[in-house]
Each structure stands twice: as structure tokens, then as C-alpha cells.
Amino acid sequence: MRSRRCALASPDTTEPPRACSAGTSRGPSATASRRHSTLVVVSRYASVYPLVTARALAREFTYEVPDEVEPGAVVEVRFGNAKRRGVVTEVGVTPPDGVTAAPVERVVAELPRPLVELALWVADYYGSTPGRAFQLVAPVQRKPRGERAQPAERDALPGEPAPAALSDSQQATLARIVDRLDAGESANFLLYGATGSGKTEVYLQACAAALERGRGAIVLVPEIALTPQALGRFRARFGERIAVLHSALTEAERRDERARIARGEAPIVLGARSAVFAPVARLGVICVDEEHDASYKQESDPRYDARTVAAKRASLEGAVAVFGSATPRPETWGSLERLELGGRIAGPLPTVRVVDLRRESGYPLSAPLLAELGAIAERGGKAILLLNRRGVAPALHCRACGTTLRCENCDVALVLHADRMLRCHHCGYTEPEPETCPVCGSAEIVRLGAGTQRLERELEAKLPELERIRLDADTVERPGALAEALRRFAEGDRVVLVGTQMVSKGHHFPGVALAAVVDADTGLGMPDFRAEERTFQLLTQLAGRSGRDAPGRVLVQTFQPDSRAIELAARHDVTRFLAGELERRRELGYPPFRHLVRIVVSGPEPDAPLQALTELKDRLPGDLLGPAPLLRLRGKFRAQLVAKTDQPRRIATQAGRLLSAAAPAMRRAGLSVVVDVDPQGF
């Protein structure tokens, strides 16, 4: 139904305005004529961003709105032949000449003004569209009738009791955070301390301080896998005032949690990266745990980084952002005020032994590693083994002709799995393991390397008395499998947790006597300027899982024992590693000294992506690397262009404008493009 704002032209009238018709104006009514007044119909218009993804429609449209609608209203509108949701960004606008504005159908919800500003900033900075960015903050649509919404699952692993008293460093850190909270001014802090130094307790106390002041809090963890354990600690402290948000929730669960937050029933939100957009009123604190983790970067449009968004949201709402890590990024180490907690509360970090695989046989289980595992089998305890590759073998290779079996859709090796199927981990292509080489017919096919499935098999063969739990992408596909595996490991004895990098992330398990990196070299050879940083972080984080409540040991197996990242990780020397990393990046012009913008074009023809980026390069300013071809993935040929810049928004906007102008020709050629600001992978 249309709504109009009505007013009586005569200021001395004492009657309330009568209901207006759907027309644009009315002549004098009988009553108005008798009172010598004229009824004037005044329509109210607003700018609305429909939640559509097409870049060609990435602009505001004018609609007629009721009086009560203000910026931040989520409305349902007619858009073309369909009904769409949209977000009101401005009221009191004038429709374009000659255009009759349609009325909004209904008001669905309200968004806090800071979230509207945040979404518009995300669209601008990351080169996305407002429609896509608003989908991050706008409530999800209602489920069809007949579908029953269930309460969101908020299962938690057991929490830990509050400590008897905070350490001196924890008290000093908390005092600094509360000081900025009381000042009502935004601030960004790096909370640095070794694994087990008490960072989570600082988050808990900061959230409590926000609640005492009538403000809310958001706590981000990098992976859904960490949510149950973190939830246990927060639930023990705050009860049902906690809401959980992450991508594994159903649409109904997410809607219910957002409603609890919006109503003020859950002023503390815990979740993965999408929780940074939670509709928390009067936000006081945002805590970003394990801030070094690349999982905070979204890899689909809008390609936002939750860490950057957290800092921006804090600035918009006068909140305090706390970024915590035992292995901070160079970007935060060099730019944020540092709050240091020092070493472990429960004792020293474990000693790290580096095993030189050039001098040891028996890969993936060297003699020193088998000896350590044998001691656990004899005396009891737990072990964590990290091998950052899935499957049985990362590749099959023919010794006769040199062929490595590759995916027919991607330029990558097929991975052998335990069911004797070769799988592509990019597109999902599968084929049976061959008996002979498909190229030359030779039977000299060998399995190269090892994955988590092979490691699990070898443990079964050599140490059958140890229980084995594997944790990788293949084992956690079933709902509830992840929580079940973590619970089994937490409650077990003489048990080994075998997995990819997810086993190194923030888990706290009692009784872990051994943490071992089976192959520390897997990340060092990656074509990425962050390769050493990520290797250092992975080794240091895994070492932190061992010996938290009793003396523990750490083994690192490597073919490159002289690597700087491995040497410094073995000494727990974060400061020296980051100092060297910052100096290297300063010389090369990499973050944090400059921003990167990555532009990737893909298409069905081999040369077209490279040609498109070559033409684009001639029209972009700045320090440009490439274009260079990339590996073919999912049947698409790809190329990339990387810009080093001090103005990432300008580069992204200019590239977007040029690519939009070329969009018709690119569509005809089957080309697609991705513009990624501050990319985390190459």
C-alpha cells in the first residue's frame, strides 16, 4: 500500500490530516473547502540499493517510502519483474525528472547506521558492489512456509574456570584496553604472547568490561573448528548471552542468532570471519584471535579481510579492536600498539628438535619420531602429527617416461587416496589408480611423497597400540564429525591426532606430550612472498599445542634444516623472525610497506587471459608485476597481473571501470575477471 506524507496548507487548522489516496495530489475536499484549506499530498522518496549482484545494476534506485523509514531500513521492493530486498541509504531525495517512483512493498528490518556505512566501505575498498556488500549485513530471507526453524546448535566443548588472579602483564594489558573503552575512542592493539600466555582470558575480561558499560562485543576465531572450544570458555563465563555465527549454520539458524543479537539477548558474538558483520548494538570491543591466520580473508566476492573490516568497524563505532597472536603478521607487528603478555603461564615452551631427513631413513616416520611415539605408547599421553597434505600420495610418477599423472581439467597432479582413486583437489575430477603408465605402458609407476592417509596407515602398521584420529578435509565433511574427532582426542589416552594444518590452530588439549611436523618443507617452496612467514607460524603454532600442562616435546622433520624460518621457529624467536621479514619486505616493496592488488582473468582459450591483461596493464598506473600465466584450473586458462600501490582503492576502482567497459567483449570471449585487494594467496 502506498504511503504519503500529508499536510494541511493552512497553519491554523485544528483537524488532523485525513488519509491520502494513492493519487499524487487532491483537490479541496468538502471539509477543507468549508475551512478554506487545501490538502496537499507530499510524497517521500529514498535511495535504495537493491540486493542484486550484477555490476551493471550496482547503483541506487529511487522508491517512495513511508514516513517512518530511515537510512538503514531493509525493504522489499519491486525490481523488474521480481521482488527484491534492498537497503535504504538516504531519504528525502528527489526522483529523476519524468520518472514515477514505485513504492516499497514493505519494511523487513532495520540495520544500525554503522553497518550501512561499513557495507558501503567494503564495497568501495574491495572493488565489489553495494548489493553484494549489503548481503553481508542484511538479515537473511525468511524460509518458505512449512519449513520449521530450529534453534541454532551451540554445542560447546568443556570450558575452563576463571583463573584465581590475572598475571601482572594481563592486568596491565586489560587496563590499557579498558582505558580506551572508557574514553569512547577507537583504538587498535596487538595482543602478543606465547601460546598459553593467557590471551583468551584477556578477551574474556575485555568482553566483561564492555558488558559492564552497556556495550557489546564480537570475538572472531579463524576457523569453525575452533568455535566449540572457544564457546566452552565463553559460555562458562557469560551463559546464554553468547550468540554463535559462522558459515556452517543453516539459514534458519543464522536468522535466529541474528535476531537474538538484534534484540539484545546476546550482546556477545563468537564466530568465524562473517561474525564481524553481526548486528551488535553499541559495540565496545572486537577481539580477533589468531590474527595471523589467512582464513580471515574471504575468497569470494566481496573479497574482504575480516581483520581489516574489524579495524574499520571499530573506527566507525568508537570501539576497541584487539588482534591477538603468538605469531603476529608483519603487518600488525609494525603498525599497532603492542600489548605483551610474555611467556606461558603454566611453564616454559617445549624444546624443539629438528630432524634432518637428509640423514634419516624411514620417511614419513623417522627413527627419532618413532621413538617418541613409542614412549607415548608405553607411558601414555597424546601426540599431534601435522602433515599438510591429504591422501596417500601427492602424485604418481612414471620412472620410465617421466610422466606425472595430472588432472584433465587442471594443470595439477592427481592425488592418490586410500580407496585407490586419483582425485583432483581443485575440481573434483577422479579416475582409478592405473596399473601401468597411460602414456608409455610401463609398470614402473611410483607413489611420490606422503599424505595424511599414508601416515595413518604407517602408524597402524608400526604402532598398532596407539589409537589414531585423522583430521583433514576428507574426514570432516559429515556434520558433527569435527566436534566428535576433537572430543575423542581430548578424552583419549595413547592417542595420535593426525592431520593437516587445522590441527595446529588454537586447540587446547590436556596431556599432549608430543607435537611433530612430519614434513616442514611443504610450504617453503610455494611461489608466495609469505611462504617463510606461514611456515614459521605453522611450526610455532604446532609447538604451542605441546606441553601445556606437563613437559612436552616437539619434533620438526625437514630436508632444509638451515632454513631461516625453521631455525628461528625451533628457537621460538618471533622477534628476530619478524625483524628480518620486515626488512626484506621493505626492500622489495611488499606489505606492510605497500598494498597489493591482484587481477586474475580466466577463460576457455589459452592466450586470451594474457592478452586481456596486457591491454589492461597499458592503462593502469603504478608498479605492475606481470601479466604472467597461472596454472589452468577447472578447465579455465588463467593469467594474473599484480599491482604494488599506496592507493589500492584507486587501482581497484580504475581496473573495475576499465573492465566494466570491456565487459561485453569479455563476455563474448568467455572471459571472467577477479579483482582482489590485499590478496592472501597467489
**pLDDT recorded at residue 33:** 38
Enumerate the domain spans of the chain.
45-137, 168-342, 351-392+450-574, 595-677
| Cell triple for 557 | 622433520
Amino acid at 416: L
Across 181-294, the runs of DSSP E, i.e. the strands, are 187-193, 216-220, 242-245, 268-271, 283-288
pLDDT of residue 663: 80
C-alpha 487, offset from chain centre: 24
Got the DSSP string for 68-116? T--TTEEEEEEETTEEEEEEEEEES--PPTT-PPPBPSEEEEE--HHHH
Query: What is residue 178's predicted lDDT score, i.e. its pLDDT?
Result: 96
* Distance between CA atoms of residues 618 and 620, nearest Å: 6
Give the amino acid at 80: G
Q: Is 441 exposed, middle or buried (0-12, 13-18, 19+ CB in 10 A)?
A: exposed
Provide the strand spans (E) within 511-615: 512-517, 553-558, 595-603
CA 476, CA 543: separation in Å to the nearest integer?
Answer: 23
Residues 170 and 341: their CA atoms lie apart, in Å, by: 6
Q: Are 63 and 48 in contact (CB under 8 A)?
A: yes
Specify whether the CB–CB gap between 153 and 256 falls below 8 A: no
Mention every residue, 6+ apart, whose C-beta is less than 8 A from residue 298: 273, 304, 305, 306
Residue-wise pLDDT tens digits, 514-570? 999 999 998 888 888 999 999 999 999 888 887 666 778 999 999 999 999 999 999
Closest CA to 591 of 297, 187, 258: 297
Q: What Rg do the C-alpha atoms of the chain give, in angstroms?
A: 29
Answer yes or no: are the C-beta atoms of 260 and 242 closer than 8 Å: no
Architecture of domain 45-137: 3-Layer(aba) Sandwich (3.40)
- Please give the Cα distance from 312 to 371 (Å, whole number): 50
Report d(CA 449, CA 446) in Å as an integer. Answer: 10
What whole-number distance in Å separates Cα of residue 60 and Cα of residue 529? 40
Residue 330: which residues within 8 A CB-CB, separation 6 or more? 533, 578, 581, 582, 585, 591, 592
Q: Cis ω on the peptide bond leading into residue 627 (within 30° of 0)?
A: yes
CA 328 to CA 77: how far, in whole Å? 45
> Which residues have a Cβ under 8 Å from the Cβ of 351 and sit 6 or more positions away?
553, 554
CA distance 91 to 488: 56
CATH class held by domain 595-677:
alpha beta
**Cell numbers found for residue 574:** 618471533
614 φ, ψ to 5°?
Answer: -65, -40
pLDDT at 505: 74
* CB 602, CB 672: distance < 8 Å: yes
Burial class (CB in 10 A: 0-12, 13-18, 19+), 248: middle
Element (DSSP H or E) covering residue 422 = strand 421-423
Q: Note the pLDDT of residue 636.
A: 93
| Assigned architecture for domain 168-342 | 3-Layer(aba) Sandwich (3.40)
| Interatomic CA distance for residues 436 and 377, integer angstroms | 40
Distance from C-alpha of 98 to C-alpha of 93, rounded to nearest angstrom: 15
pLDDT digits (tens, 9 = 90+) for 330-364: 999 989 999 999 765 556 778 899 999 999 888 89
Q: How far apart are CA 237 and CA 162, in angstroms?
A: 8
* Distance separating alpha carbons of residues 253 and 238, to the nearest angstrom: 20
Backbone dihedral angles phi then psi of residue 661, each to the nearest 5 degrees: -65, -30
What is the C-alpha to C-alpha distance for residues 614 and 608, in angstroms, rounded to an integer? 10
With cell 540495520, the residue in question is: 111
Query: Quick check: do 351-392+450-574 and 595-677 share a fold?
Result: no
Residues near 422 by Cβ (< 8 Å), separated by ≥ 6?
A: 396, 405, 414, 415, 416, 430, 431, 432, 433
Q: Which helix (H) or strand (E) holds 673?
A: strand 672-677
Residues forming a β-bridge with 603: 637
CATH number for 351-392+450-574: choose from 3.40.50.300, 3.30.110.40, 1.10.3720.10, 3.10.440.10.
3.40.50.300
C-alpha cell at position 472: 583433514
Q: Give the residue ranges of the chain where pLDDT is below 50.
A: 1-41, 142-160
d(CA 474, CA 314): 37
Question: H-helix or E-strand containing 353?
Answer: strand 351-356
* Confidence (pLDDT) at 219: 96
Place of cell 592427481: 414
Return the HEC string of 284-328.
Answer: EEEEECCCCCHHHECCCCCCCEHHHHHHHHHHHHCCEEEEEECCC
Report the first-to-last Cα separation within the chain, whole angstroms. 52
* Alpha helix ranges (H) inside 339-410: 367-379
615, 659 contact by CB (below 8 A): no
Q: In this predicted model, what pLDDT tens digit does every residue of 621-678 receive, in sequence order?
A: 889 998 999 999 999 999 999 999 999 988 988 888 888 788 888 888 899 999 999 9
C-alpha cell at 360: 634419516
